[in-house]
């Protein structure tokens, strides 16, 4: 099979996402030339997905294209930023017919999500190597309105934009854990096709005192807000938004670690003062606890007992 690097770029990556007026020069030159907004901060985030670590060889390439961009857009959402541009560095073990099909699927998943949020793919790098995908995203947010991790204050409510534990349960099922019978398509979608909470992120400008997206597990990610803000929290586990299938699993196995430390949820966790409580409920956000002056994270189980979650979450270098 002879397909050159340049043919690959041309065929699969040259026109992904939406074309934008602020792209002076896109793919095909030494640099992309981009016009940032003069009065706003440029928000930048990057994430890598490595085969065997973040995804498996048999995973659907279209979902992977979606997820590689979605996890980055989720970071922009957590900053309250509006996405604009993306770059993509991809390492491929080789090129055969199967790999070309894989690339077509990957590109189509990436393209569909990019178009939905007005993102343009403006550059990247294509090399030979163990399969890995790195996406960087760039967006805009007015400096003073950017959502950060360090602004939570005692008395603030703690909110979640949606359910936690679905992706972790889908992963357990895939690892062979018996989670009972039923239709698992929603659960699988939560793992493979996360939806970045971009609309909510921009609505939280000027409302949330601190925010983060939940990628490594609620306890660990909320822990980052608490640490950076110099505060603690009490969570009411009976207020955690759980899908029926996760709620049943938690009850059956008494396993609160699943929703608290599972990860891959890509919901927003944020804090806000109580004056915004009604508005946040209208936006579909769930109030799950409150910020305390006393440091540390205390979780109250529905039976009134305290549960101490593993706050370390997923840590790549834990076993080194
Ligand atoms: P250079 O050698 O100057 O770095 P490359 O040959 O790596 O340029 O890339 C040629 C053009 O294609 C550049 O504009 C680069 O940004 C773009 N490009 C390369 N790989 C990708 C990719 N995977 N996705 C998007 N654009 C890419
Ligand atoms: Mg290059």
Distances (CA, A) of 256 to 106, 147, 170, 217: 34, 28, 16, 12
What residues pack around ion ligand 2 (CB closer than 5 A)?
A: 125
Ligand 1 within 6 A of 305 CB? no
Give me the DSSP letters along 18-38: ---TTEEE-BTBSS-EE---T
pTM of the model: 0.95
> Which of 75, 110, 145 finishes a domain?
145
Residue 203 beta carbon below 6 angstroms from any ligand 1 atom = no
Ligand 1 close to Cβ of residue 39 (< 6 A): no
What is the number of structural domains in the chain?
A: 2
Residue 182 Cβ contacting ligand 1 at under 6 Å:
no
pLDDT in tens, the chain (320 residues): 678 889 999 999 999 999 999 999 999 999 999 999 999 999 999 999 999 999 999 999 999 999 999 999 999 999 999 999 999 999 999 999 999 999 999 999 999 999 999 999 999 999 999 999 999 999 999 999 999 999 999 999 999 999 999 999 999 999 898 888 778 899 999 999 999 999 999 999 999 999 999 999 999 999 999 999 999 999 999 999 999 999 999 999 999 999 999 999 999 999 999 999 999 999 999 999 999 999 999 999 999 999 887 666 566 777 67
Q: Are residues 220 and 140 in the same domain?
A: no
Residue 221 domain flag: yes
Whichever domain contains 60, its CATH number is 3.30.1330.10
Ligand 1 centre from 138 Cα, in Å? 17
The answer to whether residues 174 and 282 belong to one domain is yes
Question: Are 197 and 116 members of one domain?
Answer: no
For residue 13 and ligand 1, the question of a CB distance below 6 A is answered with: yes
- Nearest 5 degrees, angle CA 177-CA 180-CA 186? 90
Would residue 234 count as lying in a domain? yes
For ligand 1, atom 18: residue with the closest CA: 124
Domain containing 108: what range? 5-145
């Amino acid at each position: 099979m002879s397909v050159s690097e340049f043919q690959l770029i041309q065929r699969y990556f040259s026109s992904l996402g939406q074309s934008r007026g602020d792209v002076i020069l896109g793919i095909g030159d030494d640099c992309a030339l981009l016009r940032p907004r003069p009065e706003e901060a440029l928000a930048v985030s990057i994430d890598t997905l490595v085969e065997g670590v973040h995804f498996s060889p048999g995973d659907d390439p279209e979902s992977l294209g979606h997820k590689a961009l979605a996890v980055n857009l989720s970071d922009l959402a957590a900053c309250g930023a509006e996405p604009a541009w993306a770059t993509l560095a991809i390492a491929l073990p080789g090129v055969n017919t199967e790999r070309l099909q894989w690339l077509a699927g990957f590109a189509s998943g990436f393209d569909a999500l990019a178009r939905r949020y007005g993102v343009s793919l403006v550059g990247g790098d294509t090399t030979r190597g163990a399969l890995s995908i790195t996406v960087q995203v760039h967006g805009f947010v007015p400096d003073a309105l950017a959502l950060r991790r360090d602004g939570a204050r005692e008395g603030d409510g703690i909110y979640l934009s949606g359910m936690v534990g679905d992706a972790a349960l889908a992963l357990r099922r895939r690892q062979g854990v018996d989670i009972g019978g039923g239709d698992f398509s929603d659960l699988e979608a939560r793992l493979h096709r996360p939806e970045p909470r971009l609309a909510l992120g921009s609505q939280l400008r000027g409302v949330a005192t601190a925010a983060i997206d939940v990628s490594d597990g609620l306890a660990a990610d909320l822990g980052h807000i608490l640490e950076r803000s110099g505060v603690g929290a009490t969570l009411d586990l009976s207020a955690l938004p759980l899908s029926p299938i996760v709620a049943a699993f938690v009850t059956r196995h008494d396993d609160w670690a699943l929703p608290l430390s599972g990860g891959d949820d890509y919901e927003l966790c944020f804090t806000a003062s109580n004056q915004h409580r009604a508005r946040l409920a209208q936006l579909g956000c769930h109030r799950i606890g409150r910020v305390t002056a006393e440091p540390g994270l205390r979780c109250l189980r529905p039976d009134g007992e305290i549960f101490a979650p593993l706050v370390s979450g997923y840590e790549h270098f834990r076993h080194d």
